[in-house]
Amino acid sequence: MSEDPTISAETLAALDAAAQALVAEWRRYLTSEKRLSPHTLQAYSRDLGDFFAFLAGYRESIITPKMLAGLTVRDFRAFLAHKRGDGVSARSSARTLSAIRNFYRFLARTHGIENDAIRAIQGPKLPHRVPRPLTEEGARSVMETVGDFADEDWVAARDTAVITLLYGCGLRISEALSITPASVPTGDTMRIVGKRGKERVVPVLPIVRDAIKAYRDLCPYVLTPDGPLFVGKRGGPLNPRTIQSAMQKVRAILGLPASATPHALRHSFATHLLSRGGDLRTIQELLGHADLKATQVYTEVDSARLKDVYDKAFRRA
């Protein structure tokens, strides 16, 4: 197995050849069948690498498929305790446990390597988080302001177009940056490829089409049909960090909270649709959520906003 940039050579050396082959096969499965994003694949690989590094020291022996099958509840709990001792957050520990469980499910399904202990491990309790959207006025202000920090007109138009897509269509930033010139809509809808290759159709408002057109008219680079629509200053694919940085500057100027990130615009899209009478099933389809439970969280956001409005009105009265 060639060295994985997310798993150190020292950790790989703690696995025998058979265990290394299983990890390589698991990674191919995550890429080709599960279609995980490169970011998620790296995170899962890094988490599994942390587990192997701990295991090698804890068991003081080479990691083999037989060892993996024979690990006990005590072994897994010792690893989680080790993570807590390092100051790792409950959310990060939960993600690490998810990666390990995923690996074991793969082993059971493809190689018959079963381990009942991993099923008995309970993850750390996570605080219930409710998305924190911007107000409608705040979202409009972001769209109107984000281009003010660019040193070139085409860059200003680009940043405005990306932000308008996030709020106007409810896209993830990765989805917006994966759009190609060939897929730019001429009508009222656009086909988006989301997580795990799942396609969905989203409506496209005139303000979104106008923002994309303004950017394309000013962009100094030749945009190939199947290449990225949004490019950086050197003509390569636009880095998400560029949009995140622009959003940080907007937050500072407009006095918005730290929760006002590019992803918060997607939350805002969903929350504002719901407050205007949109039904959950439709919003689920527009966001590309596989499970309605992921969409139902916006009902909590809307209720919290109504309570806040009521409280403020009551105090004024």
In this structure, the number of other CB atoms found within 10 A of the CB of residue 239 comes to 12
Cα 295 to the chain's mean position, in Å?
A: 15
State the Cα–Cα distance between residues 134 and 298, nearest whole angstrom. Answer: 13
Q: Which amino acid is at 261?
A: T
Element housing 227 (H / E): none
State the Cα–Cα distance between residues 56 and 29, nearest whole angstrom. Answer: 25
Evaluate if residue 16 carries a pLDDT over 60. Answer: yes
State the Cα–Cα distance between residues 24 and 16, nearest whole angstrom. Answer: 13
State the Cα–Cα distance between residues 222 and 235, nearest whole angstrom. Answer: 9
| Domain 136-316 CATH superfamily | Intergrase catalytic core (1.10.443.10)
Residue 167 or 282, more confident: 167
| Domain 9-120 CATH superfamily | Tyrosine recombinase, N-terminal domain (1.10.150.130)
Residues carrying an active site annotation: 172, 195, 263, 266, 289, 298
Sketch the domain layout of the chain as residue ranges.
Answer: 9-120, 136-316
What are 96-108's pLDDT values in tens digits?
A: 898 999 999 999 9
User: Please, which pLDDT band fits residue 94 given cuts at 50, 70 and 90?
Assistant: confident
What are 185-194's pLDDT values in tens digits?
A: 888 888 888 8
In this structure, the number of other CB atoms found within 10 A of the CB of residue 125 comes to 8
Question: Residue 288 has what DSSP assignment?
Answer: T
